[in-house]
Amino acid sequence: MDSELNITYITLGGHVEVDKYRYLYFLMMFTVYFLIICSNSTIVYLIWVHQNLHKPMYIFIAALLLNSLLISTAIYPKLLIDLSEKQLISYSACLFQCFLYYSLNGSEFLLLAAMSYDRYVSICKPLQYHTIMKKTTVRIFLGFAWFVPACQVALPVSLSANTKLCNFTLKAIFCNNSIYKLHCVSSRALTVYSGIFFFNVTLLPVLFIIFTYTKIFIVTYQSRREVRMKAAQTCLPHLLVLISFSFLFTYDVVIVKLELELPKTIHFIMTLQVILYHPLFNPIIYGLKMKEIYNHIRRLFCQRKLHQHINK
């Protein structure tokens, strides 16, 4: 603690042999962050500029990829600074990073739920699609997805701001829910509220997604082969993203709540998966599996190659 400035600093102790592999870690993290920015931004840009992609399904995909960019930006810049200097962060900055991380992760689940509802209406109620999925409806879903988790995470984070700390070393490489283990006294109310938050922005959206995809499966099973193929083409990427994200987020939350003492190296590797795998997985899945987006990506790179060839 810096008594002169009255600032409490937390040591991020989740790194493994950071002094030995500092430059390797930095190069790897910088490369991954660069790829995350480029891949996600490219698809968001394509959806933004092409009129035929101005549909609810693609708008939700753009929002999901933008959300991944925001999550990565909340983590990677500080992570890169930590790899070049000491692994320290002020307690207030740590709480803010924790707030961004969990509110945006909550938004991810709600955006996936909105996407599943869009697919449900499109496949199960095609004649009513344009009546239900209006621009106003899409805006409400997007606002709800970002506003509700932020409000729910703000309360426990603000309550933790003035909580007395008895431990100043966080067993993580960024500020996650293990920050509550630094408190001198464990708050039962905080634990209950965290469970309610997890239920509201994780379990409820997942249950809703399971319900909508069950309905979609029933309808497509009774339809023609062409309908089943089209449904699989649009729904499969969404399910793959949901499964991967649910697994990684559940690990991040449950591993702290159960207080499992995993070897530091395993915990470090799994934490890297949480922040590395998903932001890169999203653009690959949607870029390759969504035909309209893939066609625009192919045209974009073909135009660049043609332009380079003409310049030569």
Can you give the pLDDT of all 312 residues of the chain as single tens digits?
444 445 688 888 888 777 788 888 899 889 999 999 999 999 999 899 988 888 998 999 999 999 999 999 999 999 898 887 788 888 989 999 999 999 998 999 999 999 999 988 988 888 899 999 999 999 999 999 999 999 989 888 888 887 888 888 888 888 888 888 888 877 777 778 877 888 888 889 888 988 988 888 888 877 777 766 777 777 777 777 777 777 777 776 666 555 556 677 777 777 777 788 778 888 888 776 677 887 877 887 776 554 554 555
- 312 inside domain: no
- 271 inside domain: yes
Please give the pLDDT value at position 136.
Answer: 93
Please give the pLDDT value at position 262.
Answer: 66
- 311 inside domain: no
Show the domain range for 33. 10-306
**CATH code of the domain in which 274 resides:** 1.20.1070.10
Please give the pLDDT value at position 3.
Answer: 42
Task: State phi, psi for 170 to the nearest 5 degrees.
Answer: -95, 130
Please give the pLDDT value at position 197.
Answer: 81
- 113 inside domain: yes
Number of domains in the chain: 1
Residue with tokens 């690959």: 284
Strands 88-90 and 9-12: antiparallel
d(CA 196, CA 203): 10
Q: Closest Cα partner for 108 from 76, 70, 54?
A: 70
Please give the pLDDT value at position 266.
Answer: 74
Please give the pLDDT value at position 37.
Answer: 94
- 211 inside domain: yes
d(CA 13, CA 173): 7
Please give the pLDDT value at position 4.
Answer: 43
Residue with tokens 């007395």: 164
Please give the pLDDT value at position 235.
Answer: 75
Q: Closest Cα partner for 40 from 9, 78, 18, 66?
A: 66
- 2 inside domain: no
- 45 inside domain: yes
Please give the pLDDT value at position 201.
Answer: 83
Please give the pLDDT value at position 21.
Answer: 81
Residue partners of 296: CB distance under 8 A and separation at least 6 = 46, 50, 53
- 129 inside domain: yes
